[in-house]
Structure 1
Amino acid sequence: MLGRQVTFLLRRPQLPLRLATSSTQCLSAQSLHTTPAVLGVTASKPGRPKKAVGEPSRVIKRAVKRVAKKPASDPDDAASQQVAAKQAGTTPKTKAKAKAAKPKAVKKAKKATPPKKVYTEAQLAAKKERAARAKAAKDVKSLKAAALSPPKIVPSNAYLQFIKAHKGDLQSLVNAEKEKLSEGSKLNIKGTLTEHSKNLSAAWKEQSPADIEHFNHLAHTTTEAHQAAYKSWVQSHTPNEIKLANSARRSLRRRESSSSSGSEPAKNRRTRWPAILDEREPKAAVQPYIQFSIARNASGDFKHLPLIERSKLIGEEWKALEVGEKKKYETLHSADRERYIDEYSSVHGHAPLAQLESQHPELTSAASAA
């Protein structure tokens, strides 16, 4: 047994110094010359065949591979430093980040708020007046938007149609006057218009009945066309939209009549925002006194009296009527009121506001409280 071990050691060839690849660590000379007993190999088995003499055995190859797989324990190695740093809880990158951390920004001091401006009484009054004017202008703008813009019904008659037919004559007259003028002189437009109007008036008096009837027909046709366009425009809006537009127009008339100067004619202030005529709107119920006045005017007793005297006498008769006689006209008013409520509900989709307030007084109290 001892002889076999001595023979094996004498026949063992020298191993190369580097058995590992470039990715593994080189084995030291001491590990390569380690005896089989140190590597955990025993030579209890019989010797190898003669063809395998001179090469390491499989057992030694496996032992060398196990030693090559073990990491090197060089303390200066970079991998060893990273392992040690991980065990310590910090890495070189973490240390670099900690060193490169920016210092905290210093908070800027808050600017001191300037003291509030103190206004005088005159300045406060002027400020309130400007705010009131701005609010009024905003309200007027919203009212004008709600008032809508219906097409205008331009009045027409035979004489206006005659003037329209001779509109080109005025332009010819102006051009002729311009040719007569010398350089540097001005055209007298007012005198030219006055002369043209006199000529048209004289020419109108010379028109034959057939020509006048022709211009009457043109005026009637023009008025019908304007009325048809107006009606078509009204029909393109809902009854509620027309009702809101008329309400806005009433507000605009009140505003302009109160703010207009006294020099402006009252007629112009009343007709600036006329009501939009809607045939779908039901007629309001006739009051009992109006019912009585209509009946008295239809009787013919006041035929030759002026309107003022007639109204005064009818008012005195109404005051002298007994309760039973007044009851008849109140009954007529109640029936007419029921008719108005039914027509209003069918057109607008709800009862009149006065009817709703009488049926639901809590709505009126809630609206006044708000």
Structure 2
Amino acid sequence: MLARGILCRLAADVPKTSTHDLSQLSRLLQRSIRTRNAISIPSISALSHAYKLVLAESRRSYATARATKPTGTVKRAVKKTAAKKPAPGKKTAPKKTKKRTTSKRAKPKKKTEPKKKVAKKLTPEEKERKALKKVKEYALREPPRGVATAWTVLVTEAMKGTGASVRTTIKDAAAKLKNFTPAEKEHYNHLANQKSAENEKAYKAWVLSHTPDQIRLANIARRRLKRTSSKTSMTGRRVNPPNTRLIKDDRQLSPPLTPYVRFALERRQSGDMKDISLGDSGKLTANEWKSLSASEKRKYEDAYAADRETYKHEYQRVYGHPIGTRIPF
């Protein structure tokens, strides 16, 4: 049994040799028997097993080290494959295929409108200042106006070409005017009349350089400025801002008199209210108007209606727009 087992191992382990070499076969057989007997010893068996493991490990590491060195062709192939493969966790979108367009023309792209700027919200004080500025624009600036006097002419002359202060100049002019001879007074009065005529001529030319409707709006604006911008001085006197005096223009139309105002003027011109104060005469006139009958009031109402129709036609002709048009400020 032992010999048969040894022969079976020899058939598996020993390389193929010629069966005719009997001497070599006998030596191999004897060596195998001695090796078999030696392996039965525990220390020798362990040593043999360790030797086989070391030999197998060295062969495996040598083969692995040799296989880890890729060639240039392999490197290029790996790079191409890595470039084609998508990154992990990302899905590649399928390529869009261009559709063949028919003979119809493509629709033009809509132009995007620019964003509108949002207007800043104004405070009540800012709104009031803005409105007041617009009212001042419609009020117009007029040239110097008024009647000149000998004193104004003298002060104007004294202010020219002097390096003295205003206070000193006015003081000297007042002393000079006080000591005027009659001839000097006559001379300065003549200069004052000429200056007044020049001012009046310049003022009329300025008024006529504007349309009647511009003058009408200017007077409305001046009334509003006088009502809202007037101040009180330290002495308690009311001070009006500049350019608030109403502009004189003969082209302006006067609205028709109401029935009551027409009746009150008629009573005032009759002489019955002579030496009666305005307040008391107003109370008497109001009581008389209330006591009138409907037929007595009709006379004044018909006169007002006729004047009203005439005023409408004249308003359209003079100002260029119908009555009741909205004021632009």
Question: What displacement does 1:345 show?
Answer: 1.0
Alignment of 1:156 with 2:133, yes or no, is: no
Alignment of 1:315 with 2:286, yes or no, is: yes
Alignment of 1:207 with 2:182, yes or no, is: yes
Aligned equivalents of 2:176, 2:186: Cα separation in 1? 21
Within 5 Å, give how 1:295-314 maps onto structure 2: 295-314=266-285
Question: What displacement does 1:296 show?
Answer: 1.4
Aligned equivalents of 2:254, 2:312: Cα separation in 1? 10
In the alignment, which residue of structure 2 is the partner of 1:282? 253
**CA 1:223/1:256 → structure 2, altered by over 3 Å: closer, same or farther?**
same
Question: What displacement does 1:160 show?
Answer: 4.4
Question: What displacement does 1:283 show?
Answer: 0.9
In the alignment, which residue of structure 2 is the partner of 1:236? 209
In the alignment, which residue of structure 1 is the partner of 2:136? 144
Within 5 Å, give how 1:62-81 maps onto structure 2: none
**CA 1:324/1:250 → structure 2, altered by over 3 Å: closer, same or farther?**
same
> CA-to-partner distance for each residue in 1:52-75, whole Å, 9 max, x for gaps?
xxxxxxxxxxxxxxxxxxxxxxxx
Question: What displacement does 1:140 show?
Answer: 2.3
Aligned equivalents of 2:170, 2:189: Cα separation in 1? 24
Question: What displacement does 1:190 show?
Answer: 4.9
1:250 to 209, 223, 229: 223
Q: SS of 1:144's equivalent?
A: helix
In the alignment, which residue of structure 1 is the partner of 2:307? 336
Aligned equivalents of 1:266, 1:237: Cα separation in 2? 33
In the alignment, which residue of structure 1 is the partner of 2:76? none
Question: What displacement does 1:147 show?
Answer: 2.1
Within 5 Å, give how 1:19-30 maps onto structure 2: none
Question: What displacement does 1:284 show?
Answer: 0.8
Aligned residues: 207
Aligned equivalents of 1:242, 1:223: Cα separation in 2? 23
Aligned equivalents of 2:137, 2:159: Cα separation in 1? 41
**CA 1:225/1:191 → structure 2, altered by over 3 Å: closer, same or farther?**
closer
Query: What do you get for the CA RMSD once the two structures are aligned?
Result: 3.7
CA contact (8 A) 1:153 1:230 kept: yes
Question: What displacement does 1:168 show?
Answer: 3.9
Aligned equivalents of 1:276, 1:256: Cα separation in 2? 18
Relative contact order higher in (CA < 8 Å, ≥ 6 apart): 2
**CA 1:193/1:277 → structure 2, altered by over 3 Å: closer, same or farther?**
closer
CA contact (8 A) 2:142 2:243 kept: no
Instruction: Report the residue type matching 2:127 in the other structure.
Output: K
Which sections of structure 1, spanning at least 5 residues, go unmatched? 1-126, 176-186, 358-370
> CA-to-partner distance for each residue in 1:230-258, whole Å, 9 max, x for gaps?
2211211222222233333333333314x
Aligned equivalents of 1:264, 1:279: Cα separation in 2? 37
Larger gyration radius, structure 1 or structure 2: 2
Aligned equivalents of 2:158, 2:233: Cα separation in 1? 40
2:200 to 201, 220, 227: 227
**CA 1:300/1:261 → structure 2, altered by over 3 Å: closer, same or farther?**
closer
Question: What displacement does 1:191 show?
Answer: 7.2
Question: What displacement does 1:215 show?
Answer: 5.2
Question: What displacement does 1:344 show?
Answer: 0.6
> CA-to-partner distance for each residue in 1:20-70, whole Å, 9 max, x for gaps?
xxxxxxxxxxxxxxxxxxxxxxxxxxxxxxxxxxxxxxxxxxxxxxxxxxx
Within 5 Å, give how 1:83-232 maps onto structure 2: 131-157=123-149, 160-161=152-153, 163-164=154-155, 167-168=157-158, 190=167, 193-194=170-171, 196-201=173-178, 203=180, 207=182, 217-232=190-205
Q: SS of 2:303's equivalent?
A: helix
Question: What displacement does 1:153 show?
Answer: 0.9
Question: What displacement does 1:218 show?
Answer: 4.3
| Higher alpha-carbon deviation: 267-276 or 229-238 | 267-276
Aligned equivalents of 1:271, 1:319: Cα separation in 2? 43
